[in-house]
Amino acid sequence: MKYAIQYSATKDIVEYTISVLKTLIANNGHELVSDPNDADIIAVSVCDVSQVTFLEKVRMQYPNKKIAVGGHATIYYKLFALFADYVNIGQGFEFFECQSIDEIESLPSVWVSAFPKEKLYPSTRIDWGKVPVANVTKGQTYYWGAVGCKNKCTFCMTSWTNPHQKNARARVDRVLSKYKTCTIVSNDSDDVASRMTQSIMLKDFIRVPLKKYSVYRMGLEFATEEMRRKYGKPFSDDEFAYAIRRAIDEGVRLKLFCISGLNSIEEWGRFFDRMPDVYVQGRIDVKFTNIAYEMFAPIKRERHNLDVDKLMDTTRATEFILPIKERVWPLRYMPCSGREFCVHRNILMWSSARDEYEQWRLLKNATLGQLAGYYFGSGILENDYSDTVVIDHALAGIK
């Protein structure tokens, strides 16, 4: 079959995903065409629910072509089904093995517009030997080391929608021996000292050997020990203080990620008070990301509790960080999306019908009060269709 690939983002990791798709198309005997008008299927890759707007544009541009959408965000299949003929949930290896439309439509992981299925079963199979090393930017290569996550954080759908699978260590080592600066794409921080990584949990950071001058991305998530235990990131305030001191002493750079919307500013203040006074060269980046009440994670049960007064925006976060920066010299704040953006995005995640999607678009420039009013009063929070996606490795028990 003939495929054309469409995608909206230009980040390195998205470019790498596209390289995987191109490899699967070629390895399975399909033809990749540059003009979507010549394709049997236009394949659209999405990593975030907001990219449904891009999918809509593709549909408007090619109204009579068959469109298949896949990627991390397609677990919200009812949203993407508004503009696609096929929505593949999970991995794409089985999808591209299909040699006909009939085979595609028979896959249990694929929603089909012509005859919607009552239940979908995400594809979890990965043919690790077919995963490519991709040079997406000058001098920078990427390679899959693992998918999913072993931690099962109750606020993150990655833990619940993707089984934790690891590439063979020998295969990863062969790649690293050939590509010295290759980034191994993974949420798994085992054996972090012997390969390149970008993400690590604090409980691993404080115990494994570190690589000097490296950058470590670490999710702190919440401000109190009680809340971190509740949502699956159980580390103590003392361990946090130790991790900061260790990063400074061993010359590594940290990117710290916090979830705002559940803790008060006062609680965040007490938490960051545990950072030691330091005046050295280096950098510790801090980024606040507002809460997302994912439909496919246990935190969905709290979606009616959204508190707009606890959300962050760049102004609030900057005012919070500046006094801390006076005594923690390497600290730097990373910009934060606004409170309106947070509520608007949560509305999109819980929208499943065309009229709801259109209303979401109309709310793009709405005030925080208008957005909150629609979020709580429209009824979209009852659109829970997670039970139609059968994820038997993890989802049981999150109702």
Tell whether 123 is covered by a domain.
Answer: no
Do both 223 and 348 map to the same domain?
A: yes
Residue 308 token pair: 């707009």
The rounded distance, in Å, linking the Cα atoms of 304 and 287 is 25
Do both 102 and 214 map to the same domain?
A: no
Do both 101 and 216 map to the same domain?
A: no
**CA dist list (Å): 111 to 52, 70, 262, 370:** 16, 11, 35, 34
Residue 39 token pair: 């394709």
Tell whether 175 is covered by a domain.
Answer: no
Do both 244 and 373 map to the same domain?
A: yes
Q: How many domains does the chain have?
A: 2
Residues 364, 365, 368: CA angle, nearest 5 degrees: 100
Tell whether 325 is covered by a domain.
Answer: yes
pLDDT of 161 over the 70 cut: yes
86 burial via Cβ count (<10 Å: 0-12, 13-18, 19+): buried
Model pLDDT for residues 26-35, shown as the tens digit of each residue: 999 999 999 9
Q: How many CB atoms lie within 10 A of CB 31?
A: 13
Looking at 83, 112, 141, the residue that finishes a domain is 112
* CA Rg value for the chain: 22
Model pLDDT for residues 184-206, shown as the tens digit of each residue: 877 665 544 444 446 788 998 99
Do both 212 and 308 map to the same domain?
A: yes
Residue 211 token pair: 């690589």
The rounded distance, in Å, linking the Cα atoms of 253 and 207 is 16
- Mean per-residue pLDDT, 246-257: 89
Looking at 95, 112, 129, the residue that finishes a domain is 112
Helix axis angle for 339-349 and 354-362, nearest 10°, is 170
Instruction: Name the nearest CA neighbour of 183 among 390, 11, 2, 388.
Output: 11
Tell whether 126 is covered by a domain.
Answer: no
Looking at 54, 87, 112, the residue that finishes a domain is 112
The residue range of the domain holding 85 is 2-112
Tell whether 83 is covered by a domain.
Answer: yes
Tell me if 100 sits within 8 A of 113, measured CB to CB: no
Tell whether 252 is covered by a domain.
Answer: yes
CATH number at residue 102: 3.40.50.2300
Helix axis angle for 265-272 and 314-325, nearest 10°, is 30
Do both 81 and 217 map to the same domain?
A: no
Tell whether 218 is covered by a domain.
Answer: yes
Tell whether 136 is covered by a domain.
Answer: no
pLDDT at 298: 94
pLDDT at 151: 80
Model pLDDT for residues 310-359, shown as the tens digit of each residue: 999 999 999 999 999 888 877 888 889 999 999 999 999 999 999 999 99
Model pLDDT for residues 11-23, shown as the tens digit of each residue: 545 677 888 899 9
Model pLDDT for residues 78-136, shown as the tens digit of each residue: 999 999 999 999 999 999 999 999 999 999 999 999 999 999 999 999 999 999 888 76
Residues 37, 41, 44: CA angle, nearest 5 degrees: 100
Instruction: Name the nearest CA neighbour of 383 among 360, 367, 363, 365.
Output: 360
The rounded distance, in Å, linking the Cα atoms of 124 and 192 is 25
Instruction: Name the nearest CA neighbour of 341 among 288, 297, 382, 396.
Output: 288
